[in-house]
Structure 1
Amino acid sequence: MISGSIFLGMIGPWQIALIVVLILLLFGGKKIPELMRGLGSGIKEFKDASKEEDEENVKEK
């Protein structure tokens, strides 16, 4: 029986290439930049929110 941690550790270049091809087929070449832009803005908002929370914690002390 193969555990999940062993399976995840065996990801190689062929598996990554297959995932990239599947993403291209599902979303198309034109949608991927829009998806990445949305992902980037989401990460930026998360970082900004975490910085604000850290600043609030420092002010309280």
Structure 2
Amino acid sequence: MRRVHLDAVGGIAGDMFVAAMLDALPDLRERVLADGAAVLPVEAGGIAFEEGESLSMR
């Protein structure tokens, strides 16, 4: 069993956390897409993942 321990005293950025988890565990990608589509209202749009760089970091 894999576990992640977060010591997020000051909070975490949800989008960055999801990106880091998907980078570490790419097999979760389809599950995250399906779960997101299940809870988002149609008028809110959709979910898309794109790779990019920020300050030379992937």
Q: What TM-score does the superposition give when structure 2 sets the normalisation length?
A: 0.32
Return the structure number with greater relative CO, CA threshold 8 A, min gap 6: 2
Q: What TM-score does the superposition give when structure 1 sets the normalisation length?
A: 0.31
